[in-house]
């Protein structure tokens, strides 16, 4: 009776289905060497994000899966890693720069040769400015170097802004290999606000803005003029000077400090205008002397005017 029932059941199952069932039952019982069906690939991971390697294995019986990093075994008890799915998944939490390298999985069930697959972990990192430039005060015609040290993977490309304008590199201005901005032969127009920009495929970072102040030694723009006057005449001698900081002007008579004279000074932009009012009673040399912190002592700039006196003769 049971045999008759089984035959009736088989009659109701298509031939193809019977073949597939038999095939699957045979396969499930046959031992086979492990085969990695999902090979490891290069994994790009952002700093402080998780990275995952998948090593999917087909084998019978189940294979023992082990992992290695740079040829060193990764242990299940190593808290740096998380191993799941019977060893087929390796998770590296909060990736650090020290985690980069080659990762390999090996599957072995004692039948045939073990299967192995390797992939690389490449750290990716948004740019960060690690050393910002600082404010500088420079002398005209000197040189400037503004540092900008950045981190990032891939290595960030560095550019610089003056105000909101991109700085163009030329024979006078260059960006050094480590990101610093170098300016030769500083000009007055180089004064302003600067920022460095670090950029890679994962983001962009700006340094804090810094200022270049350009200073200059004192320079006389207008010298006092030589005069020939009558004795007792009051003369006005003008001397104009510029510099940064704005210079101070002193007047000398025959190399000595003047007494009994008045000086009128006005500031026009970065130019100091000094006018000496003095009554001339004898011939003398009047010297305009301009100084600031960059032009004192032996570097003081001077301009001298000779004042001669003519005597008026009265008839008896």
Q: Is 232 left (phi over 0), alpha (psi -120 to 50) or beta?
A: left
Q: How far apart are CA 287 and CA 272, in angstroms?
A: 16
Rounded-to-integer distance, Cα 27 and Cα 179, Å: 63
Does 316 reside within a domain? no
> What's the pLDDT at 20?
47
How crowded is residue 201: how many other Cβ atoms within 10 Å of its Cβ? 12
Structural domain including 233 reads: 217-310
Asked if 225 and 275 touch (Cβ cutoff 8 Å), the reply is: no
Last residue of a domain, one of 93, 125, 157: 125
In this structure, are 117 and 64 located in the same domain? Answer: yes
Distance of CA 103 to CAs 55, 76, 79, 108, 175, Å? 11, 15, 17, 17, 38
Dump the DSSP string for 182-202.
EESS--GGG-EEEEEEEEETT
Residues 216, 197: Cα–Cα separation, whole Å:
30
H-helix or E-strand spanning residue 287? strand 284-291
Measure the CA–CA gap between 306 and 224, rounded to whole angstroms: 9
Q: How many domains does the chain have?
A: 3
Q: 91 and 170 share a domain?
A: no
Q: Residue 163 phi/psi, 5° resolution?
A: 65, -120
Q: Are residues 221 and 204 in the same domain?
A: no
Among residues 190, 208, 226, which one ends one of the domains? 208
41 and 64, same domain (yes or no): yes
* pLDDT for the residue 47: 86
pLDDT for res 311: 73
pLDDT attached to residue 29 = 61
In a domain, 16, yes or no: no
Specify whether 99 is located in the same domain as 164. no
pLDDT, position 14? 56
CATH code at 121? 2.60.40.10
Structure tokens belonging to residue 106: 């090996």
Same domain, 82 and 105: yes
DSSP string, 45-105: EETTS-EEEE-EEEEESPPEEEEEETTEEEPTT-TT-EEETTTTEEEE-S--GGG-EEEEE
Residue 2: predicted pLDDT: 41
pLDDT, block means (10 residues), the chain with 316 residues? 44 51 52 94 91 96 96 92 95 93 96 95 92 96 96 94 96 95 96 97 95 95 94 93 93 89 92 94 94 81 92 58
Domain boundary among 102, 125, 148: 125
pLDDT in tens, 12-26: 555 545 454 444 444
Please indicate, yes or no, whether residues 144 and 175 belong to a single structural domain of this protein. yes
Decide if 14 is inside a domain. Answer: no
Query: DSSP letter at 21?
Result: H
* pLDDT per residue as tens digits for the range 202-249: 899 999 999 999 999 999 999 999 999 999 899 999 999 999 999 999
In tens, the pLDDT along 100-122 reads 999 999 999 999 999 999 999 99
**Where do we find the tokens 């170098």?**
182
Question: Where on the phi/psi map is residue 294: left (φ > 0), alpha (ψ -120 to 50), or beta?
Answer: alpha
Are residues 181 and 260 located together in one domain of the fold? no
- In a shared domain, residues 121 and 137: no
Based on C-alpha coordinates, what's the Rg of the chain? Answer: 44
Q: How far apart are CA 250 and CA 263, in angstroms?
A: 9
Tell me, yes or no, whether 237 and 181 share the same domain: no
pLDDT at 10: 45
Residues 88 and 52 in one domain: yes
Answer whether residue 8 is part of any domain: no
């Amino acid at each position: 009776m049971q045999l008759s029932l089984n035959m009736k059941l088989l009659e109701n199952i298509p031939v193809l289905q019977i073949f597939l069932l038999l095939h699957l039952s045979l396969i499930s019982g046959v031992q086979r060497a492990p085969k990695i069906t999902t090979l490891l690939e290069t994994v790009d991971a952002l700093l402080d994000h998780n990275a995952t390697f998948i090593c999917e294995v087909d084998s019978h019986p189940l294979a023992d899966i082990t992992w290695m990093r740079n040829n060193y075994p990764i242990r299940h008890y190593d808290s740096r890693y998380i191993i799941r799915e019977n060893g087929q998944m390796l998770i590296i939490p909060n990736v650090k720069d020290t985690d980069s390298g080659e990762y390999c999985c090996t599957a072995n069930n004692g039948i045939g040769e073990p299967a192995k697959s390797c992939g690389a972990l490449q750290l990716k990192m948004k740019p960060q400015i690690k050393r910002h430039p600082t404010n500088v005060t420079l002398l005209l015609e000197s040189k400037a170097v503004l540092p900008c040290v950045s981190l990032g993977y891939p290595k960030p490309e560095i550019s610089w802004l003056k105000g909101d304008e991109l700085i163009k590199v030329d024979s006078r201005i260059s960006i050094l290999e480590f990101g610093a901005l170098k300016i030769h032969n500083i000009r007055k127009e180089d004064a302003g606000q600067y920022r460095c920009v670090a950029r890679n495929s994962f983001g962009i970072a700006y340094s804090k803005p810094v200022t270049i102040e350009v200073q200059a030694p004192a320079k006389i723009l207008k010298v006092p003029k030589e005069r020939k006057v009558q004795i007792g005449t009051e003369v006005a001698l003008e001397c104009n000077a510029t510099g940064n900081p704005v210079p101070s002007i002193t007047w000398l008579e025959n190399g000595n400090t003047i007494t009994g004279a008045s000086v009128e000074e006005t500031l026009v932009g970065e130019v100091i205008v000094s006018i000496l009012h003095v009554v001339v009673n004898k011939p003398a040399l009047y010297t305009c002397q301009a100084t600031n912190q960059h032009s004192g002592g032996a570097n003081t700039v001077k301009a001298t005017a000779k004042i001669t006196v003519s005597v008026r003769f009265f008839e008896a």
